Structure formats: structure tokens, C-alpha cells
Amino acid sequence: MSLQIMTANRLLGGGVVYFGENEEWTDHFASAKAVEDNDGAAALLAEAEKAEANQLIVGPYLIKVERNEAGLQPLSVKEGIRAKGPTVHYGHGTPANSSGSVSSGLVKE
Amino acid sequence: MYRYDEFDYDFVQQRVAQFGDQVERRIEGDLTEDQFKPLRLMNGLYLQLHAYMLRVAIPYGTFNSVQMRKLAHIARKYDRGYGHFTTRQNIQYNWPVLKDVPAILKELAEVEMHAIQTSGNCIRNTTSDQYAGAAADEIEDPRVYCEIIRQWSSLHPEFTFLPRKFKVAVTGATTDRAAIRVHDIGLAIVKNDDGEVGFEVHVGGGQGRTPMIGKVVREFLPKEHLLSYLEAILRVYNQIGRRDNKYKARIKILVHETGIDEIRRLVEEEWNRIKDTALNLPLEEVDRINDYFAPPTFETLDATSRSFEVKRFEDRGFATWVRANVVAHKKPGYAIANISLKPEGEAPGDITDDQMEVVADLAEKYSFDEIRATHEQNLVLPHVKLDDLYDVFLGLQEAGLATGNLGLISDMIVCPGLDYCALANARSIPVAQAISKRFADIERQYDIGELKLKISGCINACGHHHVGHIGILGVDRKGEEYYQITLGGNANENAAIGKIIGPSFAYDKIVDAVETVVNTYLEIRDGAEESFLDAYNRVGMAPFKERLYA
């Protein structure tokens, strides 16, 4: 089974969150708890269900990831952008995320 | 300009209170997400990739300086200092938090604005010609009928849960600037042989995964029958439109599969049953609404302005801006000033709170307090005196809003794409920014001439790529962003769906591919007067394909 982590959006703010190694929901992709067996995935789903019932998160789902020497990496462009924010600057010069041009920093499926 | 009546006021106030209660119940856990989602969508609130997104309605794209200042205030107080103008003449905010949305709606209601009919399977906000009331080629002001449709559709119990969303556009001019032929219903105000004014009714147009050009269901509809005829079309759709498959639920599929003749028969049968009922438009009501859109008190002016001509001679930047962005007005001595939201290297349609304030000030001072949002993601000051144009230009220039590229290759329609949108397959904005930089030389853009380039990040086609002279569609190929090119699309009165030229291009190849297409056009055109679209229609796909895949 592939390495997976649990992600969702916060109910109140809408921001992207991950279920973390410390058993808390975190904004940081790198701190996500990764599992690679069915039991681990079931445990993440149970945590997500609990957090939904407690109005913490909305729309949870599992995503496949990869671990390399730099840590966890998303496997799709979409999850890379979710993790880091828009790749374009906006508003009063809010900078683009570091994945910037094309998909550097993102590992592809 | 239209003002709320008491009914509108009460209705919007009720909605604000209801949604405030619904948000509270959601946060307290009394509503699940499944229960809450249709309620938030009825109030324009989506959940996107990074955050909630609130889409605020600007009915038929017409608003004023007070409303623009409120939009700026909301961007500043509740969002990240900017807003994004959309292809339905609306504005959306990309970063509001859920608990603030009731407060935002309350603030919008203070200036007669709301987020109703910007989402969900209802009749969406009716769109129109951004030059309405100012265009020289106008038969009648289409906004009067947009407003009548708004009043009829906003709380229509029969059409609250349609098979899918339903979009209507109205144009009152001979040149179609509202893309009516790619709407579920498109209405063109026309004159018949007897000189009477009515509507040519198009049905079944649309983009998305199955693009269609609308078909004429009635060549001339007397004005008083507008609502009964629309109701007949909606009833036929509501009854036999498909609800079993989301991708086949739009009326364009029904028209395509049933055939326009049978649709016409069904619509006319229903219409004959209801046309002489309460749906008949009382002419005094039309006149009453017409009064709200009465033209401003224009001065009697000479058709030319010496000061304008002098400034155009002295300031090359002004001359360039005028050349592209200023359009003839129906009144002598006045002009329509377009404000491009496509400066080089920026996200198309984005505008900061400070820029909104500048546009509000200029509208108040120089354009009878009127602003228009366009479906091409720009803004318009519709009634500016030629004598005042230079001051308007200087004000825009200081705010970074004086890009003179209207209708040129860098004036692209672009959806938010994968940088914001949960449905997208690929990014659109960075592709647009790269194209804008590649073609930054304005003289080169003028040499290329009129060229409508439109980019969508997925097949839902929010970036109107199907009707771009050059269309770009982002696709997902095994997790990688690729881009398909279409040529020959057109959104005006000669509407056409573009054709796919061939295999798609990787992210880092798409700008080169666009440049190859443009250079091919420059080589094959029959003189500078032949536009890209005319050249394509003359020679077809072959020379472009040959160069692109050599």
C-alpha cells in the first residue's frame, strides 16, 4: 500500500490542514502523519470522522505521498499547491509559493 | 441606475438574517456539511482549494462608487486586500473565513448588494452588454429587461432547484458583447419589419464539456411576452431536462438531443397556455423600470475636443491607451473608457482595494457615478467627457490601471485555475502571466491586432476557451499539467466553437506554442487588415498545425 496522509479544510477558516504526527490537526504538510497500511488508513479516517463531528474540519480525504531525504512530498501538482498556496502573487504583492515555476519541488505520480 | 425597492430590501435583509443563523448552526454542529452546503451555495459561498470563496453579485455588471468602495472595504477588512472580477460580471473574494461571511453579507446589504444567484442550480445573475446605455449601436438598453428577469427569477419557487444552473444574457446592440449565443438563453433586442422592438430568442448555448452554440427558438418575441416565454422554456427544461446525469443536465443537451424543432413545439405549446396570464408584462411596469435606467443628464457638446486632441498628441502613453481602450459613445463629446484589469504579468481580473477606491473616485467625478464590470474581466467608465479623458487616464495610470491593451492578445479571459479552484486540472493564471510577458511589447500587440485569447484550467470552461480565437484548456496527464490549444472560436454575433489543433503541450512549452500560432498568422495574413480570426477562417487549421507540430 502507498504512503498516505489525511487532509481536509478547517471548518471556520477554510484553510488546508493535515492530521499530524502529534495527533493534532496541523497547517503544515511536513508534519503530517503518514501511514502505509490499511489499519493506519482506517485510524486516520476515524480521526477525520471525529474531527468532522466536532466541527473542526470539512471534506477530509486521504492523499498519496512519498518520503524522500527532504521529508514528505505530495505526488500531484494539486496537492503541492494546496500544501504551499497559490503559485502566483496576489493582492498587495503577496508572494507566490516556493513551488513557483511549473512544478519544481513537486514529485509527480 | 436601478435602486432597491422595499420588496428587495426586505428580501435581502431576511436572507442575511437566515444565513447568519445557518452559519451559527453549522459552527455549533446543528447542521452537517451535507445540510449546510446547499444553503451556503445559495448565498454564493464555495469552499475552494485553500479557503472559502465568496462570489458577490453585480447584476448585469452595473454598479456605482458607493458599492465599489464597499467592495474595497470588504477586500481590506475581511479578505487579503483584493478581489477578482469574473466572467459573469461578478466579483469574488478568495480568502474569507466562514464566521465573517454573515457580517460581509450584512455590509453588502447596506449598499444594496448581495451574493444571491451566484451559485447553485438556479437561474444565475443575468449578464449584459457592458456598454449598455452608452453604445452607439444600441436599439434599447438591455438592462431594463435584465432587471425584469432578475425580479422574476430571484424568488421563483418553480425554478429554485433546476436540473443544473441556468444562465441568461441580454444584448440590446447589433454587436454582441455579451456572448449571448453561449448562454442557456440568449436574448437579442431586435426590430421587426414593422419597426416594433422585441427579442430574438436563442436557446441551448453553453460551454463546459459539451460546447454548443445556441439555436434560435423564436425570431421575434414581442416585449410584453418576455416572461411568459422564458417561463415556458424553463418549464419544458424543468420537466424533461435530465437529472440523472450531471454532465447531461444543461438545457443545451436537451436541445441537442430533442432537436430545436421539437423544443420549439413544446415551448410554444406551453407558452400559448400561459402567455395571456399574469406573466404578461404590464407596459407601465416596464416604463417604471425604464425610468431607473434613464440616461444621465448629458451636456450638449461638440463631437470633438481640442484639449483631448492636444493631450493625445503630447502624451504617447495616453494616445496608446485611447487607441485600445476608448470606444465611441452615443452622445457627441463623450466616450466609453475601458479599464483593463490585465496589466503585464498580473492575474487577469484581480484588483486591489486601493485600485477599487481609485476607480470609485474616477467614476464619481467623471462618469455620472457609473461603473460596469465586463464578462471579459475588465471595468468600464461608461460616460466620460472627451475633455475629462486625460484626467481619467492620469488617475488610472497612477493606480497601475492604465494598460492600453483592450481586445489585444494580453487582454485574456482567464479562470482562477489550479491556483485557487478545487475543480481545476491545471493552472491558468501563470500561463496567462507568461503569455502577457512574452507579448509585453505593445507595438507588437497592435501589429497582431484583435486577438481574443481565453484560458480555462479544466473542461468546465470558466475561462471561455471554447470561444477564444485562440483557446487554451488545461488538462491533467498522469498528474502533469498539459495544455490543449483550440483555434477559431468566437463569442460575438458570429459565434463559433474553436477546434482542437492537436496533441497538448507541457506547461513549459505552451507559451512557445502560442507564439508559434501567432507568428504563423503574421506570416500568412493577407495584409495587416486581416485579423487573426479572418485569416484562420480563410486558411483553416492546416498551416498552424504544420508549424506547430513540425
Distances (CA, A) of B75 to B87, B379, B414: 19, 17, 21
Burial B1-13 (b: 16+ CB within 10 A, else e): bbeeeeebeebbe
User: Is position A90 within any domain?
Assistant: no
Q: What's the pLDDT at A56?
A: 97
Does A38 fall in a domain? yes
Q: Does residue A99 register a pLDDT over 60?
A: no
- B244 C-beta neighbours (distance < 10 Å), count: 7
B44 Rama sector, left if φ>0, alpha if ψ -120 to 50, beta otherwise = left
Considering the domain boundaries, does residue A106 fall inside one? no
Flag whether A16 is in a domain: yes
Q: Has residue A9 been placed in a domain?
A: yes
What domains, with CATH codes, occur in chain B? Answer: 6-110 (3.90.480.20), 134-292 (3.30.413.10), 306-398 (3.90.480.20), 413-548 (3.30.413.10)
User: Are A12 and B427 an interchain contact pair (Cβ–Cβ within 8 Å)?
Assistant: no
Cβ(A45)–Cβ(A5) below 8 Å:
no
How many other CB atoms are found less than 10 A from the CB of residue B288? 12
Position B85 scores a pLDDT of: 98
> Which residues of B lie closer than 8 Å to A, measured between beta carbons?
26-29, 33, 47-52, 80-82, 94-99, 347, 350, 352, 418-420, 424, 426-427, 429-430, 433, 478-481, 507-508
End-to-end CA, chain A: 14
Whether the predicted pLDDT of A102 surpasses 60: no
Instruction: Please name which of B392, B396, B409, B407 lies closest in space to residue B344, comparing C-alpha atoms.
Output: B409
Q: How confident is the model at residue A106 (pLDDT cuts 50, 70, 90)?
A: very low
Q: What is the pLDDT of residues B70-124, one digit of tens each?
A: 999 999 999 999 999 999 999 999 999 999 999 999 999 999 999 998 988 889 9
| Chain centroid to CA B146 | 14
The dihedral over CA atoms of B178, B183, B185, B188, expressed in degrees to the nearest 10, equals 20
**Residue whose C-alpha is closest to residue B454's, from B440, B474, B439, B438:** B474
Do the domain assignments include residue A23?
yes
What element of type H or E holds B202? strand B197-203
Is residue A20 a part of any domain in this protein?
yes
Task: Please give, rounded to a whole number of angstroms, the shortest distance from the CA of A37 to a CA of chain B.
Answer: 23
Task: Write down the pTM of the prediction.
Answer: 0.95
Q: ∠ CA(A16), CA(A102), CA(A91), 5° rounding?
A: 55
Query: B408 and B324 in contact (C-beta within 8 Å)?
Result: yes
State the residue range of the domain holding A80: 4-84
Q: What is the distance between the alpha carbons of residues B366 and B340, in angstroms, rounded to a whole number?
A: 17
Count how many domains chain A has: 1
* A104 Cβ neighbours under 8 A, 6+ residues apart: none
Residues of A in contact with B104 (CB under 8 A): none
Give the nearest chain A residue to B76 (CA atoms).
A91
Look at residue B478 in the predicted model and tell me its pLDDT.
87
Q: Do A12 and B480 touch (CB under 8 A)?
A: no
Residue type, B336: I
Give yes or no for a contact between B126 and B168, defined as CB atoms under 8 angstroms apart. Answer: yes
Cross-chain CB nearest to A88 (options B27, B33, B430): B430
* HSE value, Cβ hemisphere, 13 Å, CA-based, for B77: 12
Q: How far apart, in whole angstroms, are the C-alpha atoms of residue B379 and residue B196?
A: 33
Paired with B483 in beta bridges are: B474, B505
- pLDDT of res. B499: 98
Contact B390, B352 (CB under 8 A): no
pLDDT above 80 for A97: no
DSSP conformation class of B127: E
* pLDDT at site B285: 86
Q: Does pLDDT of A93 surpass 80?
A: no
| Residues from chain A contacting residue B98 (CB–CB below 8 Å) | 11-14
Is A48 part of any domain? Answer: yes
* CA distance linking residue B56 with residue B78, whole number of Å: 14
Q: How far apart are CA B394 and CA B400, in angstroms?
A: 10
Write out chain A residues lying below 8 Å of B431, CB-based: none
For every one of its 550 residues, what pLDDT tens digit does chain B have, with 9 covering 90 and above? 666 777 888 889 999 999 999 999 999 999 999 999 999 999 999 999 999 999 999 999 999 999 999 999 999 999 999 999 999 999 999 999 999 999 999 999 999 999 998 988 889 999 999 999 999 999 999 999 999 999 899 888 888 888 899 999 999 999 999 999 999 999 999 999 999 999 999 999 999 999 999 999 999 999 999 999 999 999 999 999 888 888 899 999 999 999 999 999 999 999 999 998 888 888 888 888 998 899 999 999 999 999 999 999 999 999 999 999 999 999 999 999 999 999 999 999 999 999 999 999 999 999 999 999 999 999 999 999 999 999 999 999 999 999 999 999 999 999 999 999 999 999 999 999 999 999 999 999 999 999 999 999 999 999 999 999 999 999 999 888 999 999 999 999 999 999 999 999 999 999 999 999 999 999 999 999 999 999 999 999 999 999 999 8
The pLDDT tens digits of the residues spanning A33-55 come to 999 999 999 999 999 999 999 99
- Residue B359's closest CA among B150, B63, B160? B63
